[in-house]
Amino acid sequence: GQPPAYIPACRINPIDTTAAGDAFTAALAVALAEGESLADAARFGCAAGACAALRFGAQPAMPTRDEVLRMMNVDSAQ
């Protein structure tokens, strides 16, 4: 396998964490299905979870791919 990797959480001020885990898991699965490494898929999942935590509710909080990619870009710039 691969060596362990540390994947830091995105730096946000969460509003509602109800759907954060669901968004993380869904994005992780999508990235793995698209052939990404586990570490890259986890980064994508973290960004999706962060996006979801910035909105109220569950289904309405699910981010689009573009929102997740923007979160990844913003977080990497910090």
Q: Which residues are catalytic?
A: 22
- Torsion angle (degrees, nearest 10) of CA 54, 18, 58, 60: -10
| Residue 9 neighbours by CB distance under 10 Å | 12
Contacts of 57 (CB under 8 A, 6+ apart): 16, 18, 19
